[in-house]
Structure 1
Amino acid sequence: MDLDTLKTTWKALDERLARIEALQAQANDLERARDAEARAKAGQLASHRALRPLAIGLGLQAIAGVVLATIAVAFWAKRMDAGAHFVVYGVLVQAYAVALIASAGHELSLIRRVRMTGAVLDMQGALAALRRWRETVGWVLGLAGGVIWVPLLLMGLAVLGFDVWTHRPSFIGWLGLWAVGGTAAVWAILRWAERHPRFGASMRANAAGQSVRRAELALADVRAFEAEGR
Structure 2
Amino acid sequence: MRHSGSSFPQRPSCQHKAVKAFHCSDVTMQDVRRIHQKFYADTNRQAHNNFILRHVTVETPNRQRSRIGNMEYRKKIDFHRSFKLSYCEIGSRRLWRPKQEQDSDRYVGKVFITRCSILGERNKGEVNYNLDMGEGKSKLKWGKPLHSIAPTVTEEGTTLKKEKLQDLNILMTKHFQANWREKEQLTFFKDIFEKQEAMNEPNEYNSDIGEILEEEEGLVV
* TM-score after normalising by structure 1: 0.22
Greater Rg by CA: 2
Q: Which has the higher strand share?
A: 2
Larger RCO, structures 1/2 (Cα 8 Å, 6+ apart): 1
